Structure 1
Amino acid sequence: MKNESGEASVEEENQEQPKEAGKFIKVKKFTFIMGIFLLIFLTAGITTIALTFGDEKVESLAPDKHSEFEKLFSTYDTIKGNYYKDIDEDKLVDGAINGMIKSLDDPYSAYMDKKEASSFHESISSSFEGIGAEIQEQDGHIAVVSPIKGSPAEKAGIKPNDIVLSVDGKSVKGLSSSEAVLKIRGEKGTKVKLTISRAGETDPIEFTIKRDTIPIETVYAEMLDDGVAKIQVTSFSEHTVDELKTSLEEMSKKDMKGLVLDLRGNPGGLLDQAIDMASLFIPNGEVVLQVENRSGKKEVYKSNNDGALKKVPVVVLIDDGSASASEIVAAAVRESADIPLVGVKSFGKGTVQTAEDFDDGSNFKYTAAKWLTPDGNWIHKKGIKPDIEVKLPDYASLPYISPDKELKASDSSSEVKAAEKMLKEAGHDPGKIDGFFDEDTTNAVKAFQRDQKIKETGIIKDDTTVKLMQVIRDKILENDTQLKKAVEVVKKDIK
């Protein structure tokens, strides 16, 4: 059994045994949905059956004691006996389980067939092939939680809260997150076309992204000026805390005097890793989080800090891509260790999922509980407001322009307007920013192409588009207003 705190297609650890992170319980499908597989026995004339689970005996699962299954039995028998074509019984059972879970109307609960389950397991392994974006089903749509750092999705310009309308021209509306993942993932070197709807954009945006190997390296450390270290954690997988400890030790050897823990764009992951990570910064015995089941019973998890790591001033960075496990850490360190949060409001996922494997390789996960902050707050669909709100510059929100699309003189579109803004930020004045590709725009494009040693065509396409967006990304990194504020706050506490 594996619990997850950040979804999309991966995440959390059992609320009662959070350290059992790599162990999935294998269960038979009739154990999960007894009535469905009982059909096979009923059609053979058997009406009573006893099953044994350890020392516990469960008797008489016949319809008279489980009348809620009668419609299901009848439907199965009718289809099996009278449908005009031969049926795949396994597929029929899979559909029944899938329908049951979908009826929960919960974007974090899902049934996965063998292929989908394999993809689920890859999400917490050492690497997988795809575009590197965490997604979730949201009100019948597929929404991006966050792209993975350094992934093709991030480089292409995929952003948190983007809605995926179609994959390779086929609509994904109504699909589960695991079904959508299978369509988006693929072999390294192949391409996938995503059509995205983005808030603030009138028209859908098309992305053509080349798939690559996505390594699950989750911790990136660097020493900034004046002894301030920055450590970015991009997700919570099986070895994240070990990676973080190693990075902290490396930074300590470089005379770390303060730390910025960057959880921006972190979609979450395994609950046990979130608990152990928060414990590194919270005094031993202080509350990390509470997990509450449907009866209201709360399980309280406390810090197991052994005091081995060097204590320095810490600030945590969050944004709208910080979800679930990263929100657990952010809330815990603020409420139990008085560590300030800088950035913008987080995503807002306050539930815990449990995942279980069937013995045929399929899998299902369901929401088993909700988690609360140390002070008992439930942040679900609300997010966490930072102590110090800092936004990135406006140009950080400029939309993606597909390199495959040609923008040239006399064109008029939202893409042209975005390109004009990019050109201006890149130091080349396109004249009036109005979405019309006029002579001033052409001259600005040629000047940009000269600077970048690209053939001067005055047309925005291919290399010109890629270079233009890269210049903007570099400028965002150079002028990371959120990081600058976090460093400023940390330095005030360095003695």
Structure 2
Amino acid sequence: MDEEKSEKHPPKEEEGKYIRMKKFPFIMGIFLLIFLTAGITTIALTFGDEKVSSIAPNPYSEFDKLYSTYDTIKDKFYEDVDEDKLVNGAINGMIDALGDPYSDYMNEEEASSFHESISSSFEGIGAEIQEQDGQIMVVSPIKNSPAEKAGIKPNDIILSVNGKSLEGLSANEAVLKIRGKKGTKVDLAIQRAGVSDPIKVKLTRDTIPLETVYAEMMDDGIAKIQVTSFSEHTVEELEDAMDKMDKEGMKGMVLDLRGNPGGLLDQAWKMASIFVPNGEKLLQIEYRNGEKEVYKSENNGEFKKPVVVLVDDGSASASEIVAAAVSESAHIPLVGVKTFGKGTMQTATDFKDGSNFKYTAAKWLTPNGNWIHDKGIKPDIEVKLPDYASLPYISPDKEWKIEDSSNEIKAAETMLKETGYNPGKADGFYDAATAEAVKKFQADHDLKETGVLKDETTVSLMQELRDKISKNDTQMKRAVEEVKKQIK
């Protein structure tokens, strides 16, 4: 059904400099969240001890087989069984049958971890993941996290954690294996497209911070504001950052949504409304019966200075809602590469025992009615980062020296070349030229001149490359050019 059934508007918050909103009733109270952390999980079944009278008709006859199986296992299995495990297994099996990576059943421990990642800081490696085709895929690393610093990329497949395979696990099960206390170490095996051998990564877990907005004034009065996820106070952080940039003389802005895996839907609505004129569409929600809810901006004080939005393949979910809204309803240009492509919405229900059920409840569509699921949003101006931005991680725990050969050595040779040192041909063979380049690098960085690549030398080399990528951010440079065009 294509006809628009009704119009809705974002909920009221305290009025800020850039947002003016009115209160509205939530639809059934369900669309509070968009969750990117995916997995495979559940629908609620409860098994009681009371027997239903045989006189009363059974409204759920399709469950007869399930009840019969449960009773038989409970009474006749050769060992005692954990009834909670049986129920949880039945729920998981039902969700598995949906084939939807964004629907999940979470036990108490998994649910606690899930709520942590949405509303507070947590300890781990800092990467949003989802289950896809039986594998655990990285949606995006979080800014300044151990995962980002180790060079983990969107679409990397995490094959194992501390030598134990993740194949067949849900995203929530994988999260529990990857997370851990600050300061503890974890070994990951990563499969990356275009790299034949798995990449071994050793990470030290850390506290993943709550801060989601980072602002910096660049040349010519252009502010760079990066939003790393959509948490409880993201829009408030953004308003504060914009006020700060205004006081520093902001003439235009680059809103950086690269690597942003999404988060809370209400924050996406509010953020989009900063830039979308009053009365214009923000998004549409489509239910299984084809009925649609249309959400419009009620912002009478939208930001009127030039804006460009940066996106990449790690921009997902709530990020894509903002990108689509500002592009289609405010004609703000998008720069970068095609986004991740998540066009469904999830709602979550907490059970009394602390477990949680998250399921896909609807599709979301762009203001123009486009469904971007599995397709992503193509930017107006496509700009890629340099090839060396995709070089694989090199483990500092490994020692590489003359006569060694590996793909990691090839990556190191390329890093040396890109940072101004000549290792000869980047062929993966550690020869005298490679050792000499490493010695020169060590001398320039006050490191012991051994010509051996390991420990601090490896860490310093990767940091040097990250600094170069940041300085030669081709996507940001093009976005700044576009803002300057608008200022003129």
Using structure 2 for the length normalisation, give the TM-score.
Answer: 0.91
Write the letter of the residue equivalent to 2:472.
N
Aligned amino acid, residue 200 of structure 2: E
Shift of 1:19: 9.5
Give the equivalent residue in structure 1 for 2:86: 92
Letter in 2 for 1:257: K
Show the 5 A alignment for 1:262-341: 262-307=256-301, 310-341=303-334
Helix, strand or coil at the partner of 2:47: helix
1:110-189 correspondence to structure 2 within 5 Å: 110-189=104-183
Pick from 166, 171, 193 the counterpart of residue 199 of structure 1: 193
Aligned sequence identity (%):
71
Q: How does 1:401-440 map to 2 (within 5 A)?
A: 401-440=394-433
**3-state SS of 1:405 partner:** coil
Matches of 1:20 and 1:345 in 2, distance apart?
A: 26
User: How far has the Cα of 1:103 moved from its partner?
Assistant: 1.2
Q: Partner of 1:365: helix, strand, or coil? A: strand
Unpaired runs of 5+ in structure 1? 1-13, 23-30, 50-59
Q: 1:108 aligns with which of 88, 102, 106?
A: 102
Give the letter for the 1:77 counterpart.
D
Q: Secondary structure at the match of 1:445?
A: helix
Q: Give the structure 2 partner of residue 10 of structure 1.
A: none
TM-superposition CA deviations, 1:316-368 (whole Å, max 9, x none): 00000000100010011000000000000100000001111001100010100
Quick check: 1:284–1:306 contact (8 Å CA) kept in 2?
A: yes
Task: State which of 212, 216, 221 in structure 2 corresponds to 1:218.
Answer: 212
53, 67, 71: which one aligns with 1:47: 53
State the match for 2:13 in structure 1: none
SS at match of 2:225: strand
Call closer, same or farther: CA 1:264–1:32 in 2, change over 3 Å.
closer
Moved more, 472-481 or 97-106: 97-106
**Distance in 1 between residues matched to 2:357 and 2:107, nearest whole Å:** 8
Residue in 2 aligned with 1:456?
449
Question: Are positions 1:343 and 2:336 aligned together?
Answer: yes
Q: Which amino acid aligns with 2:442?
A: Q
- In the alignment, structure 2 segments of 5+ residues that lack a partner are 1-24, 34-41
Structure 2: distance between partners of 1:182 and 1:472: 31
Flag the 1:119–1:251 CA change in 2: closer, same or farther, 3 A.
Answer: same
Deviation (angstroms), 1:310: 4.6
Distance (Å, rounded) in 2 between the aligned partners of 1:15 and 1:264: 29
Please state if 1:383 is matched with 2:376: yes
Matched residue type, 1:37 = F
Q: Specify the alignment match of 2:238 in structure 1.
A: 244
How many residues align structurally? 456
Q: Residue 437 of structure 1 aligns to which amino acid in structure 2?
A: Y
Within 1, Cα distance between the matches of 2:91 and 2:300? 44
Check conservation: 2:161, 2:177, Cα contact below 8 A. Answer: yes
Q: CA deviation at 1:92?
A: 1.0
Following superposition, the deviation at residue 304 of structure 1 comes to 2.3
Helix, strand or coil at the partner of 2:276:
coil
Q: Summarize deviations over 1:206-225 as a string: whole Å, max 9, x none.
A: 11111111112110011111
1:356 correspondence with 2:344: no
Does the residue aligned with 2:119 lie in a helix, a strand or coil? coil
Q: Deviations over 1:278-307 (max 9, x none)?
A: 000000110000010111110111112130
Structure 1 residue 374 and structure 2 residue 367: aligned? Answer: yes
Return the alpha-carbon distance in structure 1 between the equivalents of residues 26 and 309 of structure 2.
Answer: 25
Is the 1:126–1:216 Cα contact (8 Å) retained in structure 2? yes
Partner of 1:37 in structure 2?
47
Query: In structure 2, what is the Cα distance between the partners aligned to 1:467 and 1:47?
Result: 73
Q: Whole-Å Cα distance in 1 between the matches of residues 450 and 212 of structure 2?
A: 41
Change (3 A) 1:76 1:246: same
Q: 5 Å matches for 1:465-480?
A: 465-480=458-473
